[in-house]
Amino acid sequence: MIKGMVRAAAAAAGAAALVAAGVAVAAENGTDVLQRDADAIRDTGTTGVLAEVSTGDRVRKVRSGVADLGTREPVPWDAYYRIGSNTKTFVATVLLQLVGEGKVRLDDPVERWLPGLVKGNGNDGRKISVRRLLQHTSGLYDYSYYLPQDIDHTPETYRRVRFRSYQPERLVRMAMRHAPSFKPWQPQGRGKWEYSNTNYILAGMIIQKATGNPWEHEVHERIIAPLGLKDTYNPGSSAYVPRPRATFYERFKPGGPLVDVSIMSDGHADGATISTTSDVNRFFRALLGGKLLRPAELAEMRGTVPAEPWAVLYKDAGYGLGLAKRRLPCGGWAWYHGGSMFGVASVNSVTPDGRAGVEIMLPTQPGTQEGKLAQLKAATTLIDHALCGQ
């Protein structure tokens, strides 16, 4: 009885806070489910959770845990964070806009735009198309496995390299040290699928060659400004995320301490963008709602191939051109991308028509693959309940 009273009081306080923040509050049962699901994510080991569900003009937000282990303050409702590989969807959208304008063709070989860059150890830019980059069917090795923080995943190495930045060409050269993981798909063919950040480093470079402007400029002018994403930007080589934000934590080894990794430089087309839950939802809903791409280019983006490695988490997972899909437990499909960086993850999904979207920010990276999978499964449960109306 006392526990029930405490829970009711907490729910009332949370609802009052949401109203004060100008956020529409769901019906009591819906809010209870959303809060319960956010608490379940927290219980997998993340220090905090911030989730937003947007449906039409209605917005529901919940948070759980804390923003910082020292201050114990709650996660800010309008927290900034690195959205990681969601950046790829922005970049793919720009490239598909260029396709619609006749400036780039999806079947253009990489060699046409970046001559002499993709070569060596069996890599051949003449045999890889723009489509294969966006779809992760190029076979190019992921450069990130050559980064110091991946080779030696320790707090000491993190502190040594956290301000280090690289030119895109250097990152591609890192990937060229390694033979391709598989032969790139050819037109009308089939093959393997493997996620590689190298693909989107190259995609960003192609945008610059095709337009004469950095990919960040084109993303801003074509997406961020038209949609009014006032809290979305690309920081370049800056290692800082503005406040308000949560502290980002990384557990470098199982059972080890959580380490503050809030400072990290990573400013490229595969994962540089900083945003908020509101802006991420607005972007994905606008994209699926047909506000950024013409029908032909949106259809190209939604043309998926099986993403078998992701089947461990998502049923019937498929990957298109910078956009993924999965089957919902209530039937139908959800479209998503998501991303992770040092100490922070973004998990999201949107309905096929863009009517509803869910974005979740998690400011802690677990120390094991099992812990990461548990975190993602709990986040997916929240999304499924929100999109399936439970």
Q: Please tell me the predicted confidence (pLDDT) of residue 367.
A: 86
Determine what percent of the chain is predicted with pLDDT higher than 70.
91
Predicted confidence (pLDDT) per residue in 277-299, tens digit: 999 999 999 999 999 999 999 99
Contact 215, 88 (CB under 8 A): no
Q: Please tell me the predicted confidence (pLDDT) of residue 267.
A: 81
Predicted confidence (pLDDT) per residue in 68-79, tens digit: 999 999 999 999
Counts of helices then strands in the chain (DSSP H, E) = 14, 16
**Averaged pLDDT of the chain:** 92
What are the two backbone dihedrals, phi and then psi, of residue 48, each rounded to the nearest 5 degrees? -150, 165
Q: What's the order of all strands across the beta sheet hosting 258-260?
A: 258-260, 249-251, 364-365
What does the chain come to in residues? 390
Distance CA 30, CA 128 (A): 47
Q: Please tell me the predicted confidence (pLDDT) of residue 188.
A: 65
Beta bridge partners of 341: 344
CB within 8 A of 82, min separation 6: which ones? 241, 248, 264, 266, 271, 272, 273, 274, 339, 341, 344
Closest to 194 measured CA to CA, from 202, 185, 186: 185
Distance CA 323, CA 93 (A): 9
**Neighbour-count burial for 85-94, b at 16+ CB within 10 Å, e otherwise:** bbbbbbbbbb
- What is the average per-residue pLDDT within 85-93? 98
Contact 259, 367 (CB under 8 A): no
Q: What is the pTM of this model?
A: 0.92
Is the pLDDT reported for residue 24 higher than 50? no
Instruction: Name the token pair of 282.
Output: 């607005």
Is the pLDDT reported for residue 219 higher than 80? yes
Is the pLDDT reported for residue 327 higher than 70? yes
CB within 8 A of 303, min separation 6: which ones? 320, 321
CA distances from 205 to 91, 138, 178, 218, 353 (A): 10, 16, 20, 12, 31
Is the pLDDT reported for residue 3 higher than 70? no
Contact 191, 292 (CB under 8 A): no
Domain 18-388, CATH number (from 3.40.710.10, 3.40.50.170, 3.30.70.360, 3.40.50.970): 3.40.710.10
CA distances from 191 to 106, 183, 184, 219, 249 (A): 18, 8, 7, 31, 37
Is the pLDDT reported for residue 241 higher than 90? yes
Cis-peptide, bond into residue 184, ω within 30° of zero? no
Q: Please tell me the predicted confidence (pLDDT) of residue 266.
A: 82
Q: What residues does each domain of the chain span?
A: 18-388
Contact 141, 181 (CB under 8 A): yes
In three-state secondary structure terms, 57 is coil
Distance CA 204, CA 31 (A): 40
CA distances from 173 to 144, 177, 362, 389 (A): 11, 7, 32, 47
In three-state secondary structure terms, 259 is strand
- What is the average per-residue pLDDT within 194-203? 98
